[in-house]
Chain A
Amino acid sequence: MDLKDKLVSSFMAFENMVDIDTPIHDVRSEAIKTFEEKGFPSKRDEAWKYTSLNSILREDYSVFPKKENSIEFRDIKKYFIHDIDSYKIVFIDGKYSSHLSQTTHDGIDVCLMSAALSKPKYRILIENYFNKAATKDSLSSLNTAFSQEGAYIHIPKNKVVEKPIQILHFSTGNESALLLQPRNLIVVDENSHVQIIERHQSLTDNPVLTNSVTEIFTNKRAIVDYYKIQNDKQSASLIDNTFVKQKRESHASVHTFSFGGQLTRNNLNFYQEGERIDSTLKGVTIIGDKQHVDHNTLVHHIEPNCESHQDYKGIFGDKSTGVFNGKVLVNKKAQKTNAFQANNNILLSDKASINTKPQLEIFADDVKCSHGCTIGQLDESAMFYMRSRGIPEKEAKALLMFAFSNNVLDSVKIPEIKQRITKIIANKLGVNLGFDL
Chain B
Amino acid sequence: MMMLKRKSKDSKTPKQSASHKKWTIGFLIAAACIWTFYTYIMFRLPDSLQTIFQTWLPPTTVNEAMVWVICAIGLNIVVGYAGLLDLGFVAFWAIGGYSAGWFMSAFFRQVNVHIFAPHQTLKTPGIHVTFWAVLFIGGIICAIFGMIIGAPTLRLKSDYLALVTMGFGEIIPQVFTNGENLGGFNLSNGTKGISPVDNIGVPGKVLGPFDFSWKFAIFVLLTAVMVFVSLRLRKGRLGRAWLAIREDELAASMMGVPLMSTKLAAYAVGAFSGGVGGVAFATHVNGVFADRFNFSISIILLAMVVLGGMGNVWGVMVGALLVAWINSTGLPAFGDLVNNTFKTSINFPSYNFLLFGGVLILMMLYKREGMIPESRLKAIMHEADDTSANIGGTH
A and B interact: no
